[in-house]
């Protein structure tokens, strides 16, 4: 309460009680909004805001950390340095952030490069486990302009996997990191009602004594030791660090112990890079075994760590054990999975995937026009009026445009196709010349995201750059080409072969690998390629009779390389076709499935001319021609059954012969006919 006394125009205010309230407000703010993580997603507020910001910017490509930090400041108004430090900490744990560039060294303690030099994107694990806007509770950001998650819907005990350390007002937290696989095993055991036990596990390795761990609760402790081995009788090597210590910490503590006479060493070397290697050289009269014991006793080669699992549950800090945290995380994961299932049913439909291809698309490659109205020019494909079209020109430039009646792209168009955002399976193979007289380069790339109506110089922005070879491969195929050089007295061999499967698939802006610095006459295709990508799941939608990769219809299987689809119609015509999603299957088929080259096909058919049933078994040849296997052309002939599996049986039911009935016979087809 504020009391006021006045005397001759002056006033005196008593502010007793105000500081008490302010301090409590400040303490609550630091504990809840700065230092202590939530038990549900394992993040402090700054970490949660970084992850939310990264998901907001996610397009499959790396983003500059400086850009991510800038975007995060919409949600976290505490300066870019604190956000950068927190993001580097997450990245160094190698679980949620896919890093690129110098992100520092957890062994030496070296700091990361400046935020403008390093890049990041979310890992597939983070994209799968951390986010779901439909099960996320949202709140307004500090300025009311944006929404931010109260907790991210993490379906994993992330808090225990990453560990955390923070100091609030009047309390602190220290949760040690645990082994990824052991956490999953423990969660499964808990769900099955079985006992479990989990212990810390560190990226820096080392030895650990957990006899007094006390389940990670207050009052427990662990002892972490460096791994010290004897190289020879005068040399020791430290190859693993105790948790929370760097090579600099260890070396400083060893030098101090040496100065105090606790140990005797000749010199010490730090050869650490991606692996820890500290070499300790001893005097001739010093025992290596005794020195190892002394290092553990008097230096940071052995440290004692006191865990203190304090977390935010709801809006209150609570002290818990790691087993209690795991149980709570596991129950929360089950709850989130249940919510996701309750929400399979009326999901958002991507209009571009279900739009009817009701437009015919044409191109004038020489003059540089494309569109739906150029009916006198070359027909390319059917498309919908909401599709995007990707184009490539001879100068190596690329542009994506909307479907229009007529669009000018530029002269010498080399390739036109329908483009899908985030399509990582379509891979473009390319050989180009840099400038008018520059060297020749080759590269493979995909195009996952662009700005429409923008020219992208894929070859080079140098004047006179030219594309000599180009192929678009819907399933990441990699062909072999022959490069013929112009006659030159400096070179003996004027022909070379290039196998695109040996090239890594990189971003579209990459320069690629050098082919040659000499003039190229031409590039010819020598051999068709097969896919270099992981198998792709393909479904068949029986309603529209089309293939898709969008989980619609019947799953045909995982396809890669030169895998094919087998179709057999009622006329006994078998055909092998590729799994290109553009293939049409308008006819009715007795069989439509993934082709297995070594799987015999069995056909039971009635020969109308001979008035008798036949069984035929055969293997299909690997070609795209129509293969007919019902020899009878009599109009009364028909196929009774097609079987594409082993150990099949057929039952023969006989007609009455002179009033006598014959019992049915069952035959094993594999044994009956070769």
Q: What is the mean pLDDT of residues 628-650?
A: 79
Which residues carry out catalysis? 117
Stretch 534-553: mean pLDDT: 84
pLDDT at 7: 56
* pLDDT value of position 617: 85
Domains of the chain plus CATH, in order, are 224-301 (3.30.1360.40), 352-531 (no CATH), 536-672 (no CATH)
Read off the pLDDT of each residue in 613-641 and give the average, rounded to a whole number: 80
| 95 vs 10 pLDDT, higher one | 95
Q: Who's near 219: CB < 8 A, 6+ residues apart?
A: none
pLDDT tens string 196-237: 999 999 999 999 999 999 999 988 999 999 999 999 999 999
Half-sphere exposure of 199 (CA within 13 A, CB side): 11
Beta-carbon-side half-sphere exposure of residue 471 (alpha carbons within 13 Å) = 20
pLDDT of residue 532: 80
Contact predicate 352/420, CB 8 Å: yes
Q: What pLDDT band is residue 247 in, cutting at 50, 70 and 90? A: very high
More confident residue, 560 or 152: 152
Structure tokens at 31: 């504990």
What gap in Å lies between CA 618 and CA 605, rounded to an integer? 14
Selected residue with higher pLDDT from 217 and 15: 217
- Tally of residues, the chain: 674
Which pLDDT score is estimated for 169? 67
Residue 259: pLDDT over 70? yes
In DSSP notation, 183-228 reads HHHHHHHHHTT------B--TT--EEE-TT-GGG-TT--EEEE-EE
Report pLDDT for 111.
Answer: 92
Distances (CA, A) of 89 to 104, 231, 242, 384, 541: 10, 34, 18, 47, 46
- Rounded Cα gap, residues 42 and 160, in angstroms: 8
Q: What is the mean pLDDT of the chain?
A: 87
- Rounded CA-CA distance 382/369 in Å is 17
In degrees to the nearest 10, what's the CA dihedral of 331, 336, 337, 341? 140
pLDDT at 631 (0 to 100): 66
- Please, which residues have CB within 8 angstroms of residue 123's CB and are 6 or more apart in sequence? 95, 96, 97, 98
DSSP string, 77-99: -S-HHHHHHHHHHHHHTTSSEEE
- What pLDDT was estimated at residue 267? 94
- Give the span between the Cα atoms of 515 and 518, in whole angstroms: 9
The pLDDT tens digits of the residues spanning 113-164 come to 999 999 999 999 999 999 998 899 988 888 888 899 999 999 999 999 999 8
Q: How far apart are CA 30 and CA 172, in angstroms?
A: 11
78 near 69, Cβ under 8 Å? no
Mean pLDDT for the stretch of residues 181-196: 95
As a whole number of angstroms, the distance between CA 510 and CA 512 comes to 6
Query: Model confidence over 88-97: pLDDT tens digits?
Result: 999 999 999 9
Residue 650 has pLDDT above 70, yes or no: yes
C-alpha–C-alpha distance, residues 58 and 449, integer Å? 11
User: What's the pLDDT at 31?
Assistant: 54
For residues 119 and 99, give the distance between their C-alpha atoms in angstroms, rounded to a whole number.
6
Confidence band, pLDDT 50/70/90 cuts, at residue 667: confident
299-323 in b/e form (b: 16+ CB < 10 A) is bbbbbebebbbbbbeeeebeebbbb
Q: In what order do the strands lie in the sheet with 638-643?
A: 612-618, 601-607, 638-643
Q: How far apart are CA 168 and CA 33, in angstroms?
A: 10
421-460 tens-digit pLDDT: 888 889 999 999 999 999 999 999 999 988 889 999 998 8
Residue 323 is given by DSSP the state: H
End-to-end CA gap in the chain? 101
Task: Say what percent of the chain tops pLDDT 70.
Answer: 92
pLDDT at 26 over 60: no
Look-up: residue for tokens 């299987």?
Answer: 557
Q: Which structure tokens are listed for 101?
A: 């560039």
pLDDT of residue 2: 46
| Segment 456-471 mean pLDDT | 91
Among the residue ranges 22-36, 140-154, 191-205, 288-302, the one predicted with the least confidence is 22-36
Quote the distance between the C-alpha of residue 542 and its chain's center: 31
DSSP secondary structure letter of residue 28: H
**Average pLDDT of 386-412?**
93
The pair of three-digit structure tokens given for residue 286, joined into one six-digit string: 């010093």
What is the structure's pLDDT at 348?
A: 55
Report field, pTM of the whole predicted structure over 0.75: no
pLDDT per residue over 471-490, tens digit each?
999 888 899 999 999 988 88
More confident residue, 229 or 605: 229
Contacts of 443 (CB under 8 A, 6+ apart): 429, 430, 503, 506, 510, 511, 512, 513
What is the residue-wise DSSP string for 336-405?
HHHHHHH---SPPP-HHHH----EEEEEETTTTEEESS-TTSEEEEEE-TT-EEEEEETTSEEEEEE--S
pLDDT band of 186, cuts 50, 70, 90: very high
Share of the chain above pLDDT 90, in %: 53
The position carrying tokens 């990769």 is 549
Q: Is 579 exposed, middle or buried (0-12, 13-18, 19+ CB in 10 A)?
A: buried
Report in angstroms the alpha-carbon separations of 567 from 332, 551, 559, 651: 47, 21, 16, 25
Please name which of 464, 448, 351 lies closest in space to residue 390, comparing C-alpha atoms.
Answer: 448
Distance (Å, rounded) from C-alpha 232 to C-alpha 229? 9
Q: How far is CA 542 from CA 351, 463, 546, in A?
A: 20, 51, 7
């Amino acid at each position: 309460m504020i009391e006021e006394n006045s005397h001759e125009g002056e006033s005196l205010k008593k502010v007793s009680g105000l500081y008490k309230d302010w301090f409590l407000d400040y303490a609550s703010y630091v504990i809840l909004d700065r230092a202590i993580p939530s038990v549900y997603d394992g993040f402090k507020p700054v970490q949660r805001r970084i992850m939310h910001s990264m998901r907001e910017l996610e397009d499959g490509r790396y983003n500059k950390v400086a850009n991510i930090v800038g975007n995060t400041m919409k949600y976290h108004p505490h300066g870019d340095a604190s956000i950068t430090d927190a993001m580097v900490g997450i990245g160094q744990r190698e679980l949620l952030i896919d890093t690129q560039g110098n992100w520092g060294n957890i062994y030496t303690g070296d700091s990361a490069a400046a935020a403008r030099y390093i890049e990041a994107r979310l890992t597939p694990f983070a994209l799968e486990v951390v986010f779901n806007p439909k099960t996320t509770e949202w709140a307004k950001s500090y300025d009311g302009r944006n929404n931010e998650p109260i907790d991210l819907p993490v379906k994993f005990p992330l808090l225990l996997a990453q560990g955390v350390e923070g100091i609030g007002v009047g309390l602190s937290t220290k949760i040690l990191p645990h082994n990824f696989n052991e956490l999953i095993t423990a969660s499964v055991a808990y769900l099955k009602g079985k006992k479990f036990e989990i212990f810390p596990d560190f990226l820096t390795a080392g030895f650990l004594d957990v006899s007094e761990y006390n389940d990670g609760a207050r009052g427990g402790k662990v002892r972490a030791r460096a791994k010290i081995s004897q190289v020879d009788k005068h040399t020791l090597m430290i190859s693993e660090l105790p948790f929370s210590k760097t090579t600099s910490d260890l070396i400083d503590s060893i030098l101090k112990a040496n100065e105090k006479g606790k140990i005797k060493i000749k010199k010490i070397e730090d050869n650490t890079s991606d692996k820890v290697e500290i070499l300790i050289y001893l005097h001739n009269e010093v025992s290596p075994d005794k020195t190892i014991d002394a290092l553990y006793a008097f230096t940071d080669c052995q440290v004692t760590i006191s865990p203190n699992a304090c977390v935010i549950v709801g809006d209150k800090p609570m002290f818990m054990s790691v087993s209690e945290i795991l149980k709570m995380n596991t129950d929360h994961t089950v709850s989130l999975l249940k919510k996701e299932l309750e929400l399979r049913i009326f999901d958002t439909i991507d209009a571009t995937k279900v739009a009817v291809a009701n437009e015919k698309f044409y191109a004038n490659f020489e003059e540089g026009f494309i569109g739906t109205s150029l009916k006198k020019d070359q027909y390319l494909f059917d498309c919908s009026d909401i599709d995007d079209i990707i184009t490539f020109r001879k100068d190596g430039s690329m542009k994506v445009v909307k479907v229009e009646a007529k669009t000018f792209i530029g002269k010498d168009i080399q390739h036109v196709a329908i483009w899908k955002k985030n399509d990582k399976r379509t891979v473009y193979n390319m050989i180009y010349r840099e400038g008018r007289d520059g060297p020749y380069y080759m590269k493979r790339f995909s195009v996952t995201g662009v700005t429409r109506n923008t020219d992208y110089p894929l070859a080079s922005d140098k004047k006179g750059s030219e594309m000599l070879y180009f192929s678009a491969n819907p399933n990441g195929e990699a062909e072999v080409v022959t490069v013929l050089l112009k006659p030159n007295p400096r070179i003996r061999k004027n022909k070379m072969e290039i196998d695109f499967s040996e090239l890594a698939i990189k971003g579209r802006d990459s320069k690629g690998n050098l082919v040659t610095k000499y003039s190229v006459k031409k590039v010819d295709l020598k051999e068709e390629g097969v896919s270099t990508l992981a198998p792709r799941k393909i479904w068949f939608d029986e309603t529209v009779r089309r293939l898709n990769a969008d989980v619609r219809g019947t799953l045909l299987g995982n396809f890669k390389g030169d895998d094919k689809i087998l179709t057999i119609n009622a006329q006994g015509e078998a055909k092998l076709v590729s799994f290109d999603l553009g293939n049409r299957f308008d006819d009715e088929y007795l069989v439509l499935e993934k082709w297995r080259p070594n799987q015999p096909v069995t056909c039971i058919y009635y020969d109308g001319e001979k008035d008798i049933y036949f069984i035929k078994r055969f293997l299909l040849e690997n070609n795209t021609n129509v293969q007919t296997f019902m020899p009878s052309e009599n109009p009364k002939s028909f196929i009774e059954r097609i079987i594409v599996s082993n150990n099949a049986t057929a039952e023969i039911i006989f007609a009455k012969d002179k009033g006598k009935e014959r019992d049915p016979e069952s035959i094993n087809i594999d044994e009956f006919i070769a």
